[in-house]
Chains A and B, each alone.
Chain A
């Protein structure tokens, strides 16, 4: 033990306290009204290879009636970070990233190499890792943010709301930024991201999220539409809700909309006759949400017909999407590689380096069990009285 006299001990304590205060990472007094709060950012690529970013900043109108309006700050730079800093010179205030909800990435940039441009978001202290990454299907990503929000004037906030209600719609994957980066670093699995495009609504162009962008490593390779996305989500065991429409049930002209309450996809790799296969068993609880005709699907035989039709249709769609993704992109967006690794680590060690090759021939065996747990009404379907 070192002997200190009282004064030295006191000074030491003072120094310890002060250094623990001064040398902490984030202490920075800044007034809240001095911040330009970024709601979202769109990243595009210029023809000369530099980055063009469009930042949607929330512009707060003062006065007695407070208004929030989007304001766009555009900036160019060799890198994302440089462009972001250069934006200060355009706006005067420093852009505050912690409340940014979405990052929209242009297709061209994603096809080239998405990591090259997004390292900043992964590294910066202010940027959050639960930001949404969206792939733009418009010509530029900036166009998405410049679309018109319907309820919320700030497009990025509207996109954020949409992403959060994914579980009741299931037409795009629910992937947060950290999850995407996590997958990118894991070679054998192909990362996916939701896509966004503009639709015309009341003569305004509104961004609309739906569909999936398929990556192979850090490069975008292709897209899935909304229906295919749902089928893909079955295979990823990521269906949490949503509706599925069974068309022309057993030869009638009636469409039945089933509301999904609970779904569990049990995906197990099996080796049958020396060949690796994925066995997919899907248990899904549904409610009859809507019947567009007067056929009786409530009685026991009617119900059986409906179940059969539903199972058949879902199985068919799953198989179609699977074959399409496998043959066209050879991208394991379903995460089958990981399941093999978890269930059969020995097998995985032998094949992991050739997983792409194995995946190209991988068959699935899908079996869907539909349980109708309710019809949402006590009476028969609506029909004209006799």
Chain B
């Protein structure tokens, strides 16, 4: 490999390397003035702007009055400084670098068989336009979402954060995909230790390619095997900017509209950007609803099974009678029934995600009619169990980022409850809390300091206090620059 590299010129080597790739275009031309100076421009069709290459490179170069071709280095300088009118031009003689640039859409201009080339950024390809992310819709607030292109995404961030303190550190991950990854943070707000830790973990990654930020999320996780997320993810630039302002670090990954925010604590599952865009009473109510939703989605089947099969004395008599009535002649034990219904629900959910939208309606009809009505009438399942499954299903969508976690906790609770009733359910809950409290996200306790909860820490957890009162950043995340409102409470003067 090394030998051939030396024997051949870079141009010849590239020609050889991509001989069977017809998208590689080698356009040879020469200068009008002096036809002995031969040029060859290399670019990939489809990733480059051909009009731009013609108008700004080929045309000026052919028409330029070049006559001294003895010193090619000199010639290249003249070309890149005076003749080529492109914004992003540099010279490179390393074969690896040239190929890398070509593959990311740049054009390389070679002079004769000289190894050094002028690299001109001519990248231009079809991009998805900026639209509202499907997975994180809001009623109020900005509607733009990230796209797959990293430059556009960074542009979206910059537009919201016009400060020199916004730092962007680029890394390349993936031996084959060479995906560009950008670590963003605000210089004097983000904790240096966290930035260092992020850098360290990203450096350690050895993988052939990453296609989505989920790859990264898993690769840099503190506890790889926990079902709970210790890194946040979002498709919205406003969310990322909000987290940056709180002192968090964001990672944007090329090729995916999903950005990662670090560190991520458990309460962030329940915070939605819209909380900050609507009245704080309403936002607080919504947050409480989300917490209740989490409780219901994880516990309703377990509590139902525990009450029905162990603690019948805890139910009001009328309720016991009506549940007993609907359970008459149902062939399965309550536990089997519960698992069956939860499974059917997950089945419907997964199917409706995978199914083409055109035939999507079939699912709802089959789901509603067959499962909902026919199964009850045929006495295969009891009606209360359908209600339990429905409540569980609906409430689990209140915290959409928690789907997988919920399914798992729900099952664990359900089995625990079916063995020893509420006693077992409580064992499950205690176990979950112990697990959550033992987690850390980049050194930050996952449950924050839940044991020593003070009012100041609670103002952005279950509550969303008015902005005037939200004077400090999350204490554990931004440890060195806590104040977000820097004027004095009474006088309004700026204080340091």
Contact = CB atoms under 8 A, between A and B. Distances in A.
A155 to B, nearest CB: 14
Interface in B393-434: 418-421, 423-424, 427
A68 B423 contact: no
Q: Could you say which interface size class chain B belongs to?
A: 20 to 34
A28 interface: yes
Nearest to A66: B325
A157 interface: yes
Contacts of A32: 308-309, 312, 320, 323-324, 327, 334
A27 B420 contact: yes
Given A21-B424, A29-B418, A58 B328 contact: no
Most buried by B among A24, A29, A30: A29
B321 interface: yes
Interface string B297-320: 000000000001110110001001
A115 to B, nearest CB: 25
Contacts of B421: 26-27
A33 B328 contact: yes
Interface in B318-352: 320-330, 333-334
Interface in A7-66: 21, 24, 26-33, 35, 37, 58, 60-62, 64, 66
Interface residues of A, number: 26
Given A24-B423, A29-B418, A62 B320 contact: no
Contacts of A21: 419-420, 423-424, 427
- What is the predominant secondary structure among interface residues of chain B facing chain A? helix
Most buried by B among A26, A32, A157: A32
A99 B333 contact: no
Contact of A31 (B317, B327, B377): B327
Nearest to B322: A66
Contact of A98 (B312, B323, B328): B312
A126 interface: yes
A96 interface: yes
B420 A58 contact: no
Most buried by B among A24, A31, A66, A96: A31
A24 B325 CA distance: 30
A164 to B, nearest CB: 12
Contacts of A99: 312-313, 317, 320
A58 B310 contact: no
Contacts of A35: 312, 324
Contacts of B418: 29
B310 A27 contact: yes
Given A32-B324, A62-B329, A66-B325, A126 B313 contact: yes
A128 interface: yes
Given A21-B424, A24-B423, A33 B330 contact: yes
Given A29-B418, A32-B308, A68-B321, 18 more contacts: A21-B427, A26-B310, A27-B310, A27-B420, A27-B423, A29-B310, A31-B308, A31-B327, A31-B334, A32-B327, A32-B334, A33-B327, A62-B329, A66-B325, A99-B312, A99-B313, A99-B320, A128-B313
15 contacts: A24-B423, A27-B419, A27-B421, A29-B309, A29-B310, A31-B308, A32-B320, A32-B334, A35-B312, A37-B317, A66-B322, A99-B312, A99-B320, A126-B313, A157-B317
Task: State the 8 A-B residue pairs at the shortest beta-carbon distance, nearest first.
Answer: A98-B313, A33-B327, A62-B328, A66-B325, A60-B325, A27-B420, A99-B317, A32-B324
